[in-house]
Amino acid sequence: MVSPAGRGAGAGTIVNVGKLTVLVIDDDPVILELLRVNFEIEGFDVISAADGEEGFKRAQAERPDIVISDIMMPRRDGLQLLTDLKADPSTADLPVILLSAKAQKTEVQHGLDLGADDYITKPFDPLELIDRLNAVMARPRR
């Protein structure tokens, strides 16, 4: 599955298999709104949460197609959220992309080792995030 707009790295004729729902989790309301608007422009349905605790509950209740999460958040940080999502059978198969200002190789590798499907450092280009989301969604699921 790829973006409804069919845009992306190596974009050619791409067919969307249904509308995707993205759960965006970030404690910064400006970033939440930026991501919501960009994903909606590209044709995605968007669910949002202001921290990891709320994000975990929404992931369990609403079963989005993919989760985009900040790492540094109150109540449950993104790494703990990722660990909890992967440990819960109802959410273990959800693809997760981490967003973070933490850009050192060891931090990126730690997020990937915990099970993140991708790790994008802030500041980020919203269009690149959409391209990378499409790449994650195009991969065969385990």
The CATH number of the domain where 67 resides is what? 3.40.50.2300
Range of the domain at 61: 21-133
Of 142, 123, 136, which is closest to residue 1 (Cα–Cα)? 136
Query: Is residue 15 assigned to a domain?
Result: no
Query: Is residue 39 assigned to a domain?
Result: yes
Tell me the percentage of the chain whose pLDDT exceeds 70.
86
Query: Is residue 7 assigned to a domain?
Result: no
Structure tokens at 119: 């790790």
Query: Is residue 106 assigned to a domain?
Result: yes
Query: Is residue 93 assigned to a domain?
Result: yes
Instruction: Give 35-94 pLDDT, tens digit per residue.
Output: 999 999 999 999 999 999 999 999 999 999 999 999 999 889 999 999 999 999 999 999
Q: Model confidence at 1, in pLDDT bands (50, 70, 90)?
A: very low
- 80 near 111, Cβ under 8 Å? no
Higher-confidence residue: 55 or 102?
55
How many structural domains compose the chain? Answer: 1
